[in-house]
Structure 1
Amino acid sequence: MTTETQNIQQMKNILEAALLTAGEPLSLDDLLRLFVERMERATLRMLLDELKTDWQSGTMELVQVASGWRFQAREEYAGFLARLNPDRPQRYSRAALETLAIIAYRQPVTRGDIEEIRGVAVNPNIMRQLIERNWVDVIGQRDVPGRPSLYATTKTFLDDLGLTSLADLPPMETFTQAEIQLDL
């Protein structure tokens, strides 16, 4: 094994250890701080791609989400792992999911925008629930009389859904087509 190959393997081992022990996704800047010598972002991305390939046949996978990189169990093990945590995952009402979808696809939006689209008043408990979950945040106020709050999704929302950006959301047409087919 050449010295360069040993160096690359050592850097991958450092990245792997950091990612496996981190409690949250690590950004490229976080990962660059692991190394004393200056490293180019392109080199770091190459090492992450190699690490991702190395783990391709394992039980874990290296994924990129909005706030960085993380290891997670592959989907086929989710049912088994759920047995370790018998607490039921939080259920969201249809109204909460509709509200979240409107915010995700139309952000930034005001409560009035949401009510106009849904055709009903927004329950304050729904907004509080989405904010407490850190899926939605107030990002400012619209410059109109009353200065209503503007809501948008957070990086936590993207991370929890395994997305790197809002562009990764399925197209809105997917839902409207599904709803049309269900109505038939």
Structure 2
Amino acid sequence: MTDDPRQLEKRLEAVLIVADEPMGVVSLATAVGAPVARVREALAALAADWNGEGAGPERGFELREVAGGWRVYVREELDPLIAEYVGSQAPTRLSQAALETLAVIAYKQPVTRSQVAQIRAVNVDSVVRTLLGRGLITETHADAETGAMHYGTTPLLLEKLGINHIDELPPISPLLDDGADGFDDLEGI
């Protein structure tokens, strides 16, 4: 790690821009490989810079210390602009593969990735990552024996479907072939 304070600030900016929750000073120091005291100084310098306290202008975002950590936020006066922008964006649709994977998880939960892959007969790794990223499924627990992660649905999915509980999904068994056709012919064998 160089002693250049601007390099430390640059590294902190990079970590903070991708953080999805407030990060404590110790976590930030570990992430950027710098002493805690230097990270505190750099955070104060970044916050002042972004607030326009130096030679540059005030930015549309700010660095706030909240919930025991630091995080980048849109400035409060720009909230209406951001709300309008986000609201005007066309919602992204799930692919057929994602819908099928989501249905398997919803009806079979808790279920492992390999179980979903067996049911769908395809690799579902990227689809599961997409569903996790969109907040429609969550990791529920790891299998004690195998360590395989089990997945289930989230309250966001219930909200999107307009239901209060997963039990309100329509029954699936009447819609699928149970595989019994053809076994009657085997009775005499």
Q: Greater CA radius of gyration, 1 or 2?
A: 2
